[in-house]
Chains A and B, each alone.
Chain A
Amino acid sequence: MKDLSIPASNIQTISRERPRLRSRHLSKRATDAIFIIVMLAYPITQFLVTWIFVNFGALSMAFNGSSTYGEFTFSFINFKVIFEDLAKPYPDQANFLNLNSATIVLLNSLGYCFITIFISLPLSLLFSYFLRKKMPIANVFRAIFFLPNIIPIVALTFAFKMSYTTPVGYLSSFFEALGINTAKYPTSQLLVYAYCIWAGLGYNIILFSGAIGRIPKELFESAELDHAGYFKEFFHVVIPCIWPTIVTMVVLGMTHVLTLYLHPYLLTYYDTSSTYTIALNIFQAAGDGASYTQQHQATAYGLFFSLIWAPIILLVRHFMSKKYQGIGY
């Protein structure tokens, strides 16, 4: 039988080694902790300062009835103003629907959701689908379509605006011949929508193309074997397969209602009264010259519409996600 006892010299070695190992382990943990703290110190501080300051600040501003800087009086007056503005019986400006400004702002903002879901996204989907169908010079098209996403928005809106600026624009005579005043509501707003579709397709096309590119080729091949035409392939293969991407794009499109302001601001700088949106209202209140009351009202305005619109977005997402569950590329 073998002697299994451990020689005394070895025991000593082990017992000497143990504390050394533990101290090395501890120091490794300590260095890791120092490393983590140093790496995260600024990012977390920056995040906490901006997030807490901004969000709590926004809440206090929305419920602040005082118009003096540094003074706080709890009040719902800023929210009351929203309803009063919406209920105004008279139009603030001449427009064909005889609507007041607050209603126009709402309609303009909701319009972005409508054009995204019913015009931009379907068009982008179709474009992406055909770009994947061995279209000649597809990569050139893709590169050109993406251009609006990299060109400064000031230059892009200027280029668009110049097309119908009298007398230099190449479309100005066309609008004049039809007797359309591009500065007047609703044409002014329709032109902003047209800009959004024109400039926004590229980004959607890239995302949809990526999603369509991830669909297994076998699915397209089997559709071809079944003699499925473009129509059938598009509705029975492509749409179900990229449904999660479509849902996300719809959700993003719906958030435009609350966030879009630069396009109308830059396109109709001198007369934004007819192209105002919820976000533009807030942006204007953040600029120089706005009173504290205006700032408080704009904050309440943003919070109020976020509270109404956010659950609608979540509901839409919930119901849309139920269709074609378990598929997604």
Chain B
Amino acid sequence: MKDLEREINPNNYIRKKVNVGYHVTKWFVFAVFVIYAISLLFPFLWMLINSVKTTGDFSSGNYFGWPKEFAGKNFIEVLSVTLEGSNETIGMMFLMSVVTTVLGTIVNVGFSACVAYVISKFKFPGRGVIYGVAIFTMVVPIVGTLPAQVNMMQTLGLDDTLIGVLFLYSGCFGFNFILLYSSFSSISNTYMEAASVDGAGRFKTFFKVMLPMAKGPLIACSILTAIGYWNDYQTPYLYLPDDFQTLAVGLQQYQLENQTSYPLVFASMIISIIPILILYLIFQKRIIESTNAGGLKG
């Protein structure tokens, strides 16, 4: 029968054969995707289930079952836990993370917008140099400068201060600059001219006309920057005082110190994830689009 089919319509026969191969490969890849997706979700679901167990329940060997007794109070209890050698509670660390993230995002995106706007819309001597230097420093990282940075912060009196962390976060010649530069470049100059004809000064034009027009890219930059600062470990670890640490740093210490009441550690980890997860659920499309903004070309 197959031979007959091949003789009558050879092209169709080949196509069917290819289609079978297509489908087998496609569903095999689908299975791989499902396994990988489960491998990413399962550890967190496991932590979530175990975070509402009592310490006794978990310690008795109930690692994979449902909680015998629902201990949602773990999430409240862990907020008042203090770490060794520190007066700061995990709740305070959470607040410190919020403050650092919000202020850090404002200074970084704010200054990036200022520079991006000026470089994209005004012609002045040194404009090309600034743009070139921004790209160069972003592309060519110089390794081994961290001890020198610590020295600089100590010399400037910025070590162990929130201002110091914000000073480093306010460096604005990075990804946000590139993204906002292209956004401002794509906005027609006629809007600036129209605002000028209406009597608006340069600052008013920037704040009242141009910034609202770049709202989309500004929100995208802010979300990505906020996620980055919420998760940042290095800067707060090196430059914030021990009693004013962020959640990212505190949780690392907490999980190392606490090897007995795992449900509390799991609860603290879930607390650190929730704000970011909410942001991700709301702005998921924008986050992925911005990460992919313009693509990467060699």
B-contacting residues of A (Cβ < 8 Å)? 31-33, 35-36, 39-40, 42-44, 46-47, 49-51, 53-55, 57-58, 61-62, 126-127, 130-131, 133, 135-136, 140-155, 158-160, 162-163, 167-168, 170, 198, 201, 203, 206-207, 209-211, 214, 227, 229-230, 244-245, 247-249, 251-252, 255, 258-259, 262, 266, 269-270, 278-279, 282-283, 285-287, 290, 295-296, 298-303, 305-306, 310, 317, 320-321, 328-329
Contacts and interface: CB of A to CB of B under 8 A. Distances in A.
18 contacts: A32-B124, A36-B124, A50-B152, A57-B149, A61-B148, A145-B37, A151-B231, A152-B273, A154-B251, A162-B43, A170-B64, A198-B39, A211-B296, A249-B296, A270-B256, A299-B148, A302-B144, A328-B297
Contact of A286 (B36, B46, B149, B249): B149
Contact of B152 (A54, A198, A230, A245): A54
Contacts of B146: 282-283, 285-286, 298, 302
Given A162-B46, A168-B58, A303-B142, 4 more contacts: A57-B148, A245-B298, A278-B143, A317-B298
A286 to B, nearest CB: 4
Contact of A54 (B149, B234, B279): B149
B39 A251 contact: no
A244 B298 CA distance: 5
A31 B115 contact: no
B238 interface: yes
> 5 tightest CB-CB pairs across the interface, nearest first?
A302-B144, A247-B298, A57-B148, A210-B292, A159-B43
B144 A62 contact: yes
A152 B248 contact: yes
B173 A306 contact: no
B255 A36 contact: no
Contacts of B63: 167-168, 170
A207 B251 CA distance: 30
Interface of B: 14-15, 18, 21-22, 25-26, 29-30, 33, 36-37, 39-41, 43-44, 46-47, 58, 63-64, 111, 114-115, 117-118, 122, 124, 130, 133, 137, 140-152, 155-156, 167-168, 170-173, 201-203, 206, 227, 230-231, 233-234, 237-238, 247-249, 251-252, 255-256, 262, 265, 269, 272-273, 276-277, 279-280, 284, 287-288, 291-292, 295-298
A295 B251 CA distance: 27
A201 B37 CA distance: 11
A40 B114 contact: yes
A258 B143 contact: yes
B59 to A, nearest CB: 9
A319 to B, nearest CB: 12
B14 A227 contact: yes
B57 to A, nearest CB: 13
Contacts of A150: 227, 231, 276-277, 279-280, 287
A229 B22 contact: yes
A298 to B, nearest CB: 6
Nearest to B14: A227
Contacts of A247: 298
Given A135-B30, A155-B273, A279-B143, A43 B291 contact: no
B171 A245 contact: no
Q: Which of A57, A62, A321: most chain B CB closer than 10 A?
A: A57
A57 B152 contact: yes
A207 B124 contact: no
Nearest to B140: A310
A302 B115 CA distance: 31
Given A40-B114, A150-B276, A299 B141 contact: no
Given A42-B170, A141-B33, A149-B291, A58 B47 contact: no
B152 A133 contact: no
Contact of B145 (A146, A302, A305, A329): A302
A322 to B, nearest CB: 11
Contacts of B26: 130, 133, 135
A155 B251 contact: yes
Given A152-B248, A298-B144, A147 B40 contact: yes
Given A142-B288, A206-B291, A54 B148 contact: yes
Contacts of B287: 146, 150
A227 B17 CA distance: 11
